[in-house]
Structure 1
């Protein structure tokens, strides 16, 4: 099961616990809103809880009352997402019969088909596709349902349905690129408005995490140019390098390494990016990048030492040059004074003998 599927199950369990506590408080009469608002809120909560515990009768009763089948929890999960995780075909059909949005997206833009595909629930995959599920839906990580399906039968079925609909690799690439382009435009708008480019999502992932996980090189380049942190961690202590390594995006790894990202960072499970990378060639490249980073660090340290040494030598040479210049100036001054003295002595008139004096003598 994928990392996101595990997160969905954890989120679902937490939601069950929260819903149970909420109902207990409501039974005790701890209401803080009007009766009408309370009933609306309570019905939505009860629907999600009933779907989470696979209570078909309760869900049917609520839907018959007119409760929306598209109610969401704090993570954006609908009852349809939850029954796709639980492999509950009866619940799925019931919700769809009452108009549930087959392409509803949670906070990470996962559709029910993403959930069914990643869990390998072939029967649900068939139902969803027959009911109009978008085969090319792209989640926040840039993945379509077939990208995250490890079950061979389910994957074969999805790919066969894509082929029937004339889906080409060119169309897939265009659809995926459109998501990257939209993300880039959104971030450019945020930057122009002076906004924060590192705001995390509910799982703690920053835009750089998401771009790195999906191989969005243009987005990664933009974020690095704006000096976003290469070592930010999400709730599982994953850095963008972990994300790039896990999903095998070598070009992104190299970009992050060039920007000084920590290639030895450890996540909550004490794993480095190399530890979670399944591609042996990329693991080898990560080790090479570590060596390159260390060589670069040592070379920079050497350059700093040389610059300091040159700076000290320059200062010493400057002092010596000043001393020699002063000495030279002093010698020249003395020579000029002596020459002036000699010249003055030569210019004084020599007294000639007076003929009158000689006659007197």
Structure 2
């Protein structure tokens, strides 16, 4: 799908954020109501439920590892990669890899295992999102920190010009604490380029000013005023 140059991805996030493909929608075969029910019950499934899901995907290794990465099934991830190491960089129809899925779900152990298995650190979805974009969009601060330590592109821009900082500045996480910590993490990086603009011409600071209560954190990267007299 083609978008005009001034297309504002952040406006789309605000109005249709619940529809953002996070990988699972590409593989889900049930109804929309069933999908919503699964999301609502996330973390409340029994071990038997997970085993049944794995059984249905046993002959579809690409789908299995994507599902396992999203659902924190570390032993399954290890098993699939032992059988076929190349699957570490597989992706769904939206371009989401196992690393993307583990990143937006906040599963640090799975992220670590995937990187140890030679996952690409900066793979792109069809919209240009890296795993760091995904982690910052959902305020997964521990995962974001881990990705940065392993070479994630701090200033990577999506097709719409959004950086991880833009996405963190949206303040769309249910956890205000994690949203603030994610911003602090990014703003503390010495190679950050905070004044990069999205395709709609907005900096992350401008996004934060209209989107949430954490704009004051951008004082960390504002130019300091020199008060020392010039001799």
The TM-score range, normalised by the shorter chain, is: 0.5 to 0.7
Tell me the CA shift for residue 50 of structure 1: 2.0
Tell me the CA shift for residue 152 of structure 1: 1.5
TM-aligned CA distance change 1:10 to 1:79, over 3 Å: closer
**Superposition pairs of residues 85-104 of structure 1, within 5 angstroms:** 85-104=104-123
Name the structure 1 match of 2:200. 215
* Residues 1:55 and 2:67 are matched in the alignment: no
TM-aligned CA distance change 1:57 to 1:120, over 3 Å: same
* Residues 1:108 and 2:127 are matched in the alignment: yes
Name the structure 2 match of 1:7. 19
**Superposition pairs of residues 332-347 of structure 1, within 5 angstroms:** none
Name the structure 1 match of 2:174. none
Name the structure 2 match of 1:133. 152
Measure the CA separation in 2 of the matches of 1:168 and 1:77: 25
Tell me the CA shift for residue 14 of structure 1: 5.0
Tell whether the 8 Å contact from 2:88 to 2:114 is kept in structure 1 after alignment. yes
- Report the TM-score, using the length of structure 1 for normalisation: 0.40
Bigger CA radius of gyration: 1
- Report the TM-score, using the length of structure 2 for normalisation: 0.60
Query: Which one of 46, 60, 77 corresponds to residue 96 of structure 2?
Result: 77
Name the structure 1 match of 2:63. 45
Q: Which has the higher contact order (CA 8 A, sep 6+)?
A: 2
> What SS does the corresponding residue of 2:119 show, helix, strand or coil?
coil
Measure the CA separation in 1 of the matches of 2:104 and 2:200: 27
Tell me the CA shift for residue 16 of structure 1: 3.8
* Greater percentage in helix: 1
Deviations 1:46-103 (A, max 9, x none): 2112223321111101112224211111111111111112111111111111011111
Name the structure 1 match of 2:180. 152
TM-aligned CA distance change 1:106 to 1:158, over 3 Å: same
Measure the CA separation in 2 of the matches of 1:10 and 1:159: 25
Root-mean-square deviation over aligned CA pairs: 3.3
Measure the CA separation in 2 of the matches of 1:140 and 1:61: 34
User: Number of matched residues?
Assistant: 162
TM-aligned CA distance change 1:85 to 1:168, over 3 Å: closer
> What SS does the corresponding residue of 1:60 show, helix, strand or coil?
helix
TM-aligned CA distance change 1:125 to 1:10, over 3 Å: closer
Measure the CA separation in 1 of the matches of 2:132 and 2:17: 12
Tell me the CA shift for residue 141 of structure 1: 1.6
**Superposition pairs of residues 1-361 of structure 1, within 5 angstroms:** 2-3=13-14, 6-8=18-20, 11-17=23-29, 42-65=60-83, 66-149=85-168, 150=171, 151-161=179-189, 164-165=190-191, 167-168=192-193, 172-173=195-196, 214-215=199-200
> What SS does the corresponding residue of 2:87 show, helix, strand or coil?
coil
Measure the CA separation in 1 of the matches of 2:76 and 2:103: 18
Tell whether the 8 Å contact from 2:23 to 2:101 is kept in structure 1 after alignment. no
Structure 2: 5+ residue runs without aligned partners? 1-9, 31-51, 172-178, 212-231
